[in-house]
Structure 1
């Protein structure tokens, strides 16, 4: 069921993501602030279920890679998600139907909502891990043969890097090295897939679960 995510929902989602992160994924604080700022500026973000994505539609992950604590020390420009999105559109030759999260835990729970607000495209209520894992290839799409590439990385200085690797383990290695050179964190667009693949392999409902956990903790 389609619904809209505003500031209150992001607050709860970020809190719940610290639980689902199970110690991984980093503090969602900076990602939460960026999402809230984008929503206040551009409006609430539409959240749709995987079943609402057409089978032949293209969807793309928006995520952070690297050390989340560096995002506190080295302030984001706020333009990184849009830079990766625009480069991915050039790579694909088509506008994605929606954005979704790579993982439910930590900072990556809220990163897609920055792009959803600024580009006015829906975010899908799903992820590829159900919690937080440390490497790019550790996803439900990856273990089912759907590649995470091409992937586009962007830093706060305006640099972008597009990676095409022989497999997702090499994607992880190359992207991780690029992230280190680019200052310790990047925003990444990856795991382009179809709506059919998303329905078959993604974990549905994790952003909503984060929100429910956060709301429960807030109201306790």
Structure 2
């Protein structure tokens, strides 16, 4: 799903910004080097799903001029057969990475984004589960767009919170894509490379 989203983002970027003024998103890349650190930090090796890396022309210090708008993607819905709790992971393995100093997603920015792929369950049930897990680790309830839930479309939500690194407070936008009626594409089979026939040993004469 994230891979398909990448192609959609690329198409939209070319249509909305044909001159490339706002650079382009980068998938699965390391966080930018931390200009406040004198040596490599562990959070610099963390990889948001997408980053929109750009130069901030208003920044006077060259060390701080490059910024990254981070986007993290997660599935939403009922637990999987392996008991992976999707809604809980949206919070602890998604939202919290924008607040946790060990991850520092969106460092140096005042905003970031989460994209949720709704696979099953009703909107309200997912929202209730997200609010419960958010409260458990100290997040305020996610506010819903006045237009409400958008079936077979994109629902918009948001929340703000404080964190131990700049910029704080931080605003996180949430885009929930309803894909419950979208048929999943079958994975392409990858055929293993043919095994080479074993070499025949030469019989000593």
Could you tell me the TM-score, scaled by structure 2's length? 0.27
TM-score with structure 1 setting the length: 0.26
Q: Select the structure of larger CA radius of gyration.
A: 2
More helix by share: 1
